[in-house]
């Protein structure tokens, strides 16, 4: 009888240890990839920004890097994402920012059951899937695509691949 109880406690302890070892990755350290392996998204901490709720970079082929931010809109609150390519630094005008923005829209997330939600801010577990509506067509029409840029167009859906250290 004692050996059965000991065995049960050992199995329960191993299960608890295994679940602790695979703790959820926080969104600000999450890494995502698209189904075509054309792009990877690496989130990074926003460093306590008052306006930006998420920051990330999208890495495409030919070492093209797009800088991404998410800010929540006022009124009907939505996580509005923007991807930028070779934006000027320092004081930039709205026109300059618009000229280097290659995609913008609401960023959605999905769980493993297919439930769709809005992208959360930092500090929560990374969603299993991210959806960037019309990402591929927007990027294909951008200055980042083509002869001197990237050649593989990513799909709009990205799956969680891992967690940065």
- Please write the tens of the pLDDT for every residue from 40-62: 999 999 977 778 999 999 999 99
Which long-range CB contacts under 8 A does 46-54 form with residues at least 24 apart?
46/122, 53/79, 53/121, 53/122, 54/27, 54/28, 54/79, 54/81, 54/107, 54/119, 54/121, 54/122
How crowded is residue 99: how many other Cβ atoms within 10 Å of its Cβ? 16
Q: How do the domains of the chain map onto residue ranges?
A: 25-163
pTM: 0.82
Annotate 21-80 with three-state secondary structure. HCCCCEHHHEEEEECCCCEEEEEECCCCCCCEEEEEEEEEHHHCEEEEEEEECCCCCCEE
Regarding beta strands 116-118 and 129-131, do their DSSP bridges make them parallel or antiparallel, or are they unpaired?
A: unpaired
pLDDT in tens, the chain (165 residues): 444 433 333 334 433 333 334 468 999 999 999 998 999 999 999 977 778 999 999 999 999 999 999 999 999 999 999 999 999 988 889 999 999 999 999 999 999 899 999 999 898 999 999 999 999 999 999 999 998 899 999 999 999 999 997
3-state secondary structure of 125: strand
Q: How far, in whole angstroms, is CA 145 from its chain's centroid?
A: 21
Answer whether 50's CB lies under 8 Å from 71's CB. Answer: no
Closest by CA to 49, choosing from 121, 104, 103, is 121
Regarding beta strands 101-106 and 79-84, do their DSSP bridges make them parallel or antiparallel, or are they unpaired?
A: antiparallel
């Amino acid at each position: 009888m004692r050996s059965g109880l000991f065995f049960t406690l050992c199995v329960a302890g191993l299960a608890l240890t295994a679940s602790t070892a695979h703790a959820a990755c926080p969104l600000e350290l999450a890494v995502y990839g698209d189904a075509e392996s054309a792009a990877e998204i690496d989130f990074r901490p926003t460093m306590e920004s008052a306006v930006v709720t998420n920051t990330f970079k999208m890495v495409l082929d030919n070492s093209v890097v797009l800088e991404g931010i998410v800010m929540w809109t006022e009124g009907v609150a939505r996580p509005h994402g923007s991807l930028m390519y070779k934006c000027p630094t320092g004081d930039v005008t709205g026109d300059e920012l618009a000229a280097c923005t290659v995609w913008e829209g609401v960023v959605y997330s999905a769980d493993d059951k297919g439930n769709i939600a809005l992208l959360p801010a930092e500090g929560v577990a990374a969603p299993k899937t991210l959806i960037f509506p019309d990402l591929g067509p927007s990027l294909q029409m951008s200055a980042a695509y083509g002869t001197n840029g990237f050649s593989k167009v990513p799909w709009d859906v990205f799956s969680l691949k891992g967690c940065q250290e």
